[in-house]
Amino acid sequence: MSTYPGAKFVTSAAVARQLAPDTGCEVAFAGRSNSGKSSAINAITERVGLARVSRTPGRTQLINFFELAPQRRLVDLPGYGFAKVPEKVRARWLELVEHYFNVRESLVGLVLIVDSRRGLLAQDAAMLEWVLARDRRAHVLLSKSDKLNRRDALSVLRQTRAACSDAAVTVQLFSAHAAEGLEEARGVLQQWFGG
């Protein structure tokens, strides 16, 4: 039995006024383009194709809202750090995501997806600081852990934990493809959503 049998797509927002109603509790998924955000949402919800997965970085340009249960949402934020995105698109991204973090009262925490082969980069660290400054919690998924051997995966985990010393940040290894860390991630969501 799936943990979230009622999971469904709600809406997409390209501009601020299209955001889903700001009620209940919401957890945002953010990370660099191609880091595995959409795959993580699909794996955690056990819904193939709920969030779109793409080999073309920068595919998700909208803020996509998914409902796990009434008043419990996951949000797939557009990825950052993709070099080929034109400056105009980048500026619009920043404006929309910044607006989202500034106004969103239902936001309880951020799941930050970081490719375990790259580790935490400057933009990821900036994203973490952004949410911590707004008194939200953060959980880092070191994604695509199936691409690393155990020793390297554990080394990245250790390094990332050391880099994220704030008590409001937790870190884990994750693989959507190998189904590693699904229960741990679901446990964090459950805790943030209030059990």
Residue with Cβ nearer ligand GTP (24 or 92): 92
| Residue spans of beta strands (DSSP E) within the chain | 8-13, 25-31, 63-69, 72-76, 107-115, 137-143, 169-173
Q: Does residue 60 interact with Mg ion by CB under 5 A?
A: yes
Minimum distance, C-beta of residue 45 to Mg ion, in the bound complex (Å): 14
Question: For residue 82, how many other CB atoms are within 10 A of its CB?
Answer: 17
Residue with Cβ nearer Mg ion (40 or 157): 40
Residue with Cβ nearer ligand GTP (11 or 24): 11
Minimum distance, C-beta of residue 143 to ligand GTP, in the bound complex (Å): 6
Pattern 141-160, Mg ion, x by CB under 5 A: --------------------
Q: Does residue 33 interact with Mg ion by CB under 5 A?
A: no
Q: Which amino acid is at 150?
A: R
**What radius of gyration do the chain's Cα atoms show?**
15
Residue with Cβ nearer ligand GTP (45 or 143): 143
3-state secondary structure of 56: coil
Q: Which amino acid is at 184?
A: E
Exposure of 79 in the CB half-sphere (CA atoms within 13 A)? 25
- Contact present, 90 and 82 (Cβ < 8 Å): no
> For binding to ligand GTP (CB under 6 A), which residues are involved?
31, 33-39, 53-55, 57-60, 79, 143-144, 146-147, 175-177
* Binding partner of 36, given ligand GTP, Mg ion, none, CB within 5-8 angstroms per partner class: ligand GTP
**Packing angle of the helix pair 182-192, 37-45 (nearest 10 deg):** 80
Residue with Cβ nearer ligand GTP (32 or 194): 32
Of the candidate spans 1-9, 40-48, 57-65, 135-143, the one that interacts with Mg ion by CB under 5 A turns out to be: 57-65
Question: For residue 157, how many other CB atoms are within 10 A of its CB?
Answer: 18
